[in-house]
Structure 1
Amino acid sequence: MASAEHDYQHFIQWLHRPDGEVPEDVRRFGRLVLDNFSSVSATTRNRSQRSVYLVDLVRQQFTAIDPGQPQLNSIATGAGWGWQSLSHLSLGPFRGFRNTEEFDLTRRIVLFYGPNGSGKTSLCEALEFALLGAVDEGAQKRIDAAQYLRNIHEGRFIPPQLTALNAQGQRVVVQVDADAYRFCFIEKNRIDSFSRIAAKPAGQKTELIAALFGMDDFNEFVSQFNESIDAQLSLLPEQGQELTRRRQAIAHDTELLAGEAVSIAAFDQVEREYAEAFQSGWTYAQLQQAVGSTEVPGRLQALREILNKPAPSLYGIRQQDFLSAFCAADEAHELVEVLAGQLALQQDGTAYQELYTSVLGLQDLSPDHCPACETAIVGEQHVHANPFVKAVQGLEHLRALTQLKQRHQAAVDQRRIASDKLQAFFANFSQRVGATVDSEHEVFRYLANPSVQPGTAWWKVGYTPVAGGASLSQQAVNYALQLEETDAATQQNLEQRAQLIAERDRLSEAHIVLTQHVTRRQHACAAIAEARQRINAFELQNAALIEAVAEEEARIAAETRIQVAYNEFLSLLRHYRSGLPGTLMAGLNNLAMELYNEFNVRDVAVDKLAALHLPVTGDGRIELSFIGSPQVRVDALQVLSEGHVRCLGLAILLAKASHIQAPTVIFDDAINAIDHEHKQGIREALFQNERFANTQILVTCHSNEFIKDIQNNVDRAQWVSYTFRHHSGDHHPRVLRDLPPQAYLIIARAAVNRGDHRGALQPCRQALEMLANKIWRWLGHFDLGVISVQLGGVGDQPSLRNLCEGLRVRLNGARTFEHGDKQPLLDALALILGIPEQTMLWQYLNKGTHEEQDREDFDEGVVEQLVALMEGMNTLGLRKR
């Protein structure tokens, strides 16, 4: 019943929920649509009409829109019910009402009966406008409210005045609250639409569920948004593409320039790392300073100057080596002298040794004869002693002499070796110091020519002291010490020079690396500089195009911003709409199921519902389970007939009104949307059960029988009835008040009161027929609905008396059935039927319905008794368990 704009306002509030985290541009887009809702809703998705309009609107206003939450005064707070029931409505001029009409609404049930076109819809629209602030029908037809609500004959309208009673019984003016009262209305067209849901494609079922709750306008409004607005936006960078094509010629330069900072940083990093690797803690500047240059010499140049000078040479002469050579020669010579003396003492033994050796040398030539006398060694004539044996024995005795000779010879050889070494030392010494036989100093001449005589102790000549000083050999040894000391100093200098060479070599290598690095860096900087020149030239040549591209980029950025905002806005809007079924139907499953079963009270038990599952999303299905197979869930729209679907729609709407504890429910011709066989169940559920006992119900209906049944089954004090008739020429509906009610017992009582006894009997019989059926249904609730009734023939209906007798017998025979209404019913039925004593009551019921000429008057007392008896039966609650 609320307008699409009202529902959209709720969406705007939803966008600003604290935990929503909705982007500001989406809120801007939503606010833009809200501020221009009428013009936006007038467009459709056909040929992208809405997209074209929105894009034009957004381009003009988007950036200026405040993304903050707007003040929506038209949305009520829904803080609770400020009243308990409606009390009075004043309307006109308004729609079909040309003049002012007053309606008393203080009863729990207010009935408006009349044919189509008599003003019932105008009445409901007046209530709708007074409660919701708008009329949905006018919004659907896109007619301005002032134009739609005016009476065409008066050319104007006055807002209806609606008052209500609060908890203290005080009359208060009803304030417009679309959120609170939208579910107080139940309309025929909404149930009609819902009943056709099974015949619709799956994509339209969401729309019809929205229609059931009066949100079809909002659903239609949302569905008219195009999937995309890209076709209406300028998102193609044509100028940018042309500039990109041209920039391909300088792509390498652009890339080079873009990487300038990275390239320089890489060079700096290499420099830092190399300097640190060369020497810990050094910077690149320190390394450059050490390497130096031609203009500013550094450590490298200083080292080169130092190392370019000739390195000092070593003499390689050690005093100890010289002394050792002299000592070795002296020791070898002394050993020769000792051994020679020993050989001189054994001169004779030497001669025999030579003799024996010579004899043995001849043994191989004359082994059998003496080599001196040729006498046979063995035979008759033989030598006195074998010369060879004697030679062997003699040599054995002379072995020590042989060893002495060998030792002497070895000593001579050792002296020669020592002499050669000493001679070589002299030669090396003289060469090292440059000594010659012509040298100025005598010691140099001695070193150059020490007078070597092989096989003699020639070195001892130098042991002879020189006049006035040490011997030449001693001078040579002393000089060797001087040279050794000089070499020590020179060696230290050479070690330092090696370190300088290593330092020079490292700096030289660093100089090469730095030179290469500088070259690479210079080349890189030169390449960047050249690239910058070419890019600057390009910028100058294409300045106009570049400016156009900048403007194009700004425009595309703005268009892209709109695109993103629209896509997110549409996604959230559809998400919000998809979640509406779950919001609207939350908590209604059990209550709607109970109402549905009450509407279909006459269906067999297995065809009633065991469970009902209403959808929680727009794509969900209404599923149910029957008592006959409670474990099986089926799609309600596939298995229910159209009449049952209508009952289901009405049950859902009533469950929603009951769930929110609506104080008033207004049926706008909704009962006429239900087929005849379900109207009785609906009437009993609405007007005779306790569920809605505290709910005010307003009904407009063109079914006279339905109005009559309500009046007959509801206490007269609870309802008031208005009858609308077509105008009689003044273009204003005729509103009939205080008409005789259609309730049988009220009619009977009125007849008794005016003394029309015959007039009271016919409605009494009709009331008994109604009460008999009511009692029969009541017994059925306690499994006592099977009764025995006599029939007059095939196809006959049971007569009223037979039905009453069957009911009395069934009640009387149910010994274990205990109920407060049981005995009063038995007593009343017995009186009417004349059991056990015959009375006039049944005769009056029969006679009073037929025309008879010249009949005697009916007894006033009997008629009064009959009417009172019927009234007493009618007051019985006949409650269920």
Structure 2
Amino acid sequence: MATARQDFERFVGWLYREDKQVPEDVRRLAHLAMGHFDALAGTSRQRNQRSVYLVGLIRERLAQVVDAPPEIRVNAVAAAWPWARLRHLTLGPFRGFRNPEPFDLQKQIILFYGPNGSGKTSLCEGLEYALLGDVEEAGAKRIAARTYLANDHARRFAPPVLKATDYQRQEMDVVANADTYRFCFVEKNRIDAFSRIAARPNNQRAELIATLFGMDQFNDFVGHFNESIDGQLVLSAAKQLMLTGRRTALGADKAAVDGEAAARQRLRDEEVALATSYAEGTDYAGLKQLIGSAEAPGRLQELDDLLNAVPPALIGARRHALVDAFAKAHQCQESLAVLTAELHAQGDQVSFKELYDAVLALQKTTGDRCPACDTPLQGAIHVVANPYEKATGGLAQLHALGELQQRQGDAQRALTQASRDLRQSLTPLATFVDAQQEQASVAGQFLSGLAAEPQGIWWAALYPPPAAEDAGANVLEQVLAVVDRIEAQDATSRQVQQDRAPLVAERQRLLDFQLKVQAQDQKDAALTAAIKEANARIAAFDTDNAELIAQVAQEQQEIARDTPLKATYDRFLEELKAYREQLPGQLLAGLNDTALTLYNEFNQSDLDADKLASLHLPLTGEDKIEIAFRGNPARRVDALHVLSEGHIRCLGLAILLAKAKSMDSPLIVFDDAINAIDHDHRRGIREAIFESDHFVRTQIIVTCHSNEFIKDIQQHLPAQRRQDCQVYLLRHHTGDYQPRVSGNVETRNYIAKARTARNALNDRDALGASRQALEMLSNKAWQWLGYHDMGLLTVPLAGIGAEPALRNLCEALHKRLRDARTFEHANKEPLIEAYGRILGIPAVNQVWMYLNKGTHEEADRDDFDGEHVESVVQTLEQIDLLDFRRPR
């Protein structure tokens, strides 16, 4: 570590340069680190070893260190960036821009997209010229810079005007400096060239690699300083915050006690309003009397008794219906008697008809002989008359007799049905007589004596009524009297049922008010209990919190001690990194870990065994890029021999970004670089650049012709960075040879679109965007569960190759989180609560219905409830604030 010590000594001397405005404590910290260099170099950033050791030294010895320049003074080149962020670019006439075009570059993320030939490359070349003073492509094509950069239609060239914001938020001109800014650019051509290294001869590979890499001991020493020592310092007043929270709660208790009288008056007012709403002039006590209780029954119990009495059931017997049934049976019997008499009068004809029918029935059996004498019908000896012909002729003559017999059969069946109908009409009467226990009465004896299927003319004794009064007439009158009593009882039952309706309504209203009175009484009891508990907490506060009060006093002393140490360390680390970047030959040093991390994040979908366990970048142009896979971490291989072209491109991008990150570069410009990467790796690249903390302080400018990639960036950009993003759309000219530039492109982030629509009271669009946002956030939540080995869900699918329905996915995620008893994470409870609100758990709500209705067209529907729509958007915004990134 001798060379690293020497470099560090030069760094300490660099801090004393006249142009440096370094605080005294920062220089003391540098002296302290130099005095304990060997011990400090033996630590690393793993498990915060370096910061733990250094904080102990600072607390113990920093105050005793003398602030004086070291004996060896060095002249170092200042490495601090002159500006914090680009601010504005005016471009044109320049390449594809015929006229001056202004670009606002104040946002942290600036995205340019459009078709090929719309001016994206010209824009990047404008930035390149303004930052580097030249454009590499012009030299590659051996064209004079002004000739290459001039606009053909304007026939002239104007240098781009680039402004930036310094660390004091003041505008400044950007001065071109190739050495300082050359690693701010990530170009498609450089990644393409890097991917072709493996196909080149070894001498050409060495030449290309030698321009990219380098490393030394000092860089390694600097790389092991932790980004922050906050974890070892007392900086936040956690105890004070806890005590303040408890005092705030105590203030709420005091307010509750002081407001007891007002609270009770509000309860009394509510009681008066409740009683008045029942009936004008009724007071609360009177209302409770009406409701009553077990000890003092009121009107409610009275109504229960009245309504619990069961009214007699309807029987449905009618006098006229019974008389009609008797008459019909008698009529059918008379009709049958007349037809039977007619048949008896034609008895001899009936006999002939039966004979003829019998002869014809035998024709199939003995068709060639007489059925009586067996004499042949034909031949030498034959019958005088053919019996079958005679029978056929006789039946034709007796046709009217057949019709009479048919009518008699019909009359017999009608009589049987009339008898059954009459018997059925008497069944309710028998039931009534039995219920009245009147079986011994005249009507009761008659009804109980009837068979279930009586035979013959069983009603003849009753109907028709005889002219002279006799027993039969008396029975009929008794039966009809029973029918009259049933009709009277049915009328009474109908009236009782009609009279019950007002009583039922009155009882229901009293029951409703009974619940309201119970709720009001519970509020009164709850107020009494709350006041009692508040008084107890007020009395015991100082005693219960004595230990915490003492801890707060100690914490304040520690914060006063450690707060200056944080600023000192942060400035020391900033200066140390700035000096490292100025060392000759160290342009690409110390990139192994960062490039490995970025490479693995780019290839997040690869098997874990196929990710890198180590990456060894070459120290010289002759060295190889060596890697070891996690599947076999002990074996190092030549990366260019084993990696596919797509993976080599990812490695090249990782190295370029690692360099920019190691320089703490305030800017990275991606000149169509995304198109140099195959589609399978774009997701990992997007997450590493735009969603992780790797480049959270870096201004990023992207040009890309992939609309979907630009959309995905906006969708997955963390919520806290979303407002710091600007999108430009470049389109082909319309004949004036000036690209059409739109700088007010509406965001494509679903959450932001939902909030914008909601703020404009466009609830349908807000719900439509919310449905898309829920799909996106649910997929992110599912992926996040996978990071914690909980990504296995049970989700029904509509068929082979179908995607899970959104509600099914939400329900599966909600169930997975609730069932994970042992899983602890800051995201867990907020997700359970949010999905519960979306799905309507534990109570039914409007969120899911609105998410469905907001995505379908419905004509002439009522407006959406703004509060429910706001609930939808707020719920999704809360999910959006959660950190779903891969654990690191």
Q: TM-score, normalised by structure 2?
A: 0.48
Greater RCO (CA < 8 Å, at least 6 residues apart): 2
Higher radius of gyration, 1 or 2: 1
Q: TM-score, normalised by structure 1?
A: 0.48
